[in-house]
Amino acid sequence: MKNQRKQFEPVVSQERNEQIDFFRGFLLVLMTINHFISGNNFLIRITREAIGWVEGAAGFVFLSGFTVGLIYTNKYLKKGEYYIRRTAFNRSWLIYKFHISAFILSLLAVLSLEVIKNHWGLYYSTMLEHPFVASILATGFLYQPKNLDILPMYALFLLPVPWIITYLHKNIKGHFLVLGISFLVYLIGTFQQIQLNYTWLSWGRWIDTGAFDILSWQFLFVMGLFLGYKSFKHELAFIFDRPPVLYSALILAGCLCILRNAISLHLIESTDFDIHFWADKKYLRPLRGINIAVIFILIRYLMVKFKDWFRYKPLIYLGKNSIEVFFFHLLLVLFLSPFNSCLNHLSSFHLFKQYYFFPLETLLTFAVVAALFLAPILWSKSSLYYQDVKSFFYKPVN
């Protein structure tokens, strides 16, 4: 077992972790921009689905699963099943507390600040009309309004991780069962075979489970987890580093990128084959899933081929502090985005179609992105409990 551990350890070296953290930081910047700017700001053509039906949230969920697969496999081999169970629960509980904190701050802001209420009232109507009911539902993940639906998903996905890692390690062919069950649940979710109806409940009309169907999106996280596990065992090269796989991924990614942008710019229209259905985001339908897969294959190839790329320290810094950065970006979007409409009235230039250049909003967006770097500093003196949980993820491997 000792020799086996030594064989595995180089995969989770500082070098590889920095590349993954680079992309986590990059995706955090993308999500911040997309959540902050107006829908007709030309910048969104670059930051939202510019390379196909792939956006920040999908990449973040997948990379989170991939990172968990790497780290928990290593810790399982070093410290055992009980340790990773306890740590997964603690991590999930920490994320849950960030979620509740974000909800409470959003609730207080919407109820007490008129400018926040005017901007967010349409999205947070239940908060305004029934704050107590909204609070109760939020604690059980039954009320996840705009931008408050990613942390709950991540908290839930972490809970079964120790059992999956343990099963994969103890059963040589365990990946067939793990992926099979996850894929079956995905099919049920993506084709809406289970649709819970809450209207018969007196409070059912206030339930909002967010923009992500958890039955569908769990497959993306589990696939990331599985590939992280296989990467730790040096088995990804056998799967992906083959010319037919790489060339097929490149061609498919290029075609999907062209198709997505052509539809977005109304250069072509949807035909009888309902593109919007098969690329739906909420239910992570197959076309979107395939697009995410081929982009992962290409990016992984670049990471392995060019080991000195993807080392921009500021983005690595954000990636290593992803939870607090994500939480802080929620607050920045909540309090500052209401000023965008006023800024856009002061200065705007029409470019093409429905897109404009908003100089003042764009400057404020860059300032918000820069402010993300304050998040780790603000939480640097947080509780010992938080530091202990976080150290699990970033302690160097001996």
Residues 6+ apart with CB under 8 A from 288: 53, 54, 58, 278, 279, 280, 281
Instruction: Outline where DSSP puts E strands in the chain.
Output: 349-352, 355-357
CA 149, distance to chain mean position in Å, is: 10
Question: What pLDDT, on a 0 to 100 scale, did the predictor assign at position 186?
Answer: 97
How far apart are alpha carbons 328 and 36 in whole angstroms?
13
Residue 171 — φ and ψ, nearest 5°? -125, 115
How far apart are alpha carbons 37 and 329 in whole angstroms?
13
Residue 154 — φ and ψ, nearest 5°? -65, -40
Nearest C-alpha neighbor of 220 from the set 296, 162, 275:
296
HSE, CB side, 13 Å, CA atoms: give it for residue 178: 25
How far apart are alpha carbons 250 and 66 in whole angstroms?
21
Beta bridge partners of 349: 357
- CA atoms 26, 32, 35, 41: torsion sign: negative
Q: Which position has the token pair 């491997």?
A: 397
16-27 tens-digit pLDDT: 478 999 999 999
CB-based burial label for 138 (10 Å; 0-12, 13-18, 19+): buried
**pTM (predicted TM-score):** 0.89
Maximum distance among all Cα pairs of the chain, rounded to whole angstroms: 66
Residues of the chain with pLDDT under 50: 1-16, 385, 395-398
How far apart are alpha carbons 56 and 318 in whole angstroms?
14
Q: What angle in degrees, to the nearest 10, is found between the helix axes of 214-232 and 161-170?
A: 40
How far apart are alpha carbons 72 and 157 in whole angstroms?
14
Question: What pLDDT, on a 0 to 100 scale, did the predictor assign at position 86?
Answer: 94
Question: What pLDDT, on a 0 to 100 scale, did the predictor assign at position 294?
Answer: 96
> What long-range pairs does 80-86 form, CB within 8 A, spacing at least 24?
81/162, 81/166, 84/161, 84/162, 84/165, 84/166, 85/162
Question: What pLDDT, on a 0 to 100 scale, did the predictor assign at position 352?
Answer: 84
Neighbours of 348 (CB within 10 A): 17
326-374 tens-digit pLDDT: 999 999 999 999 999 999 999 999 998 889 999 999 999 999 999 999 9
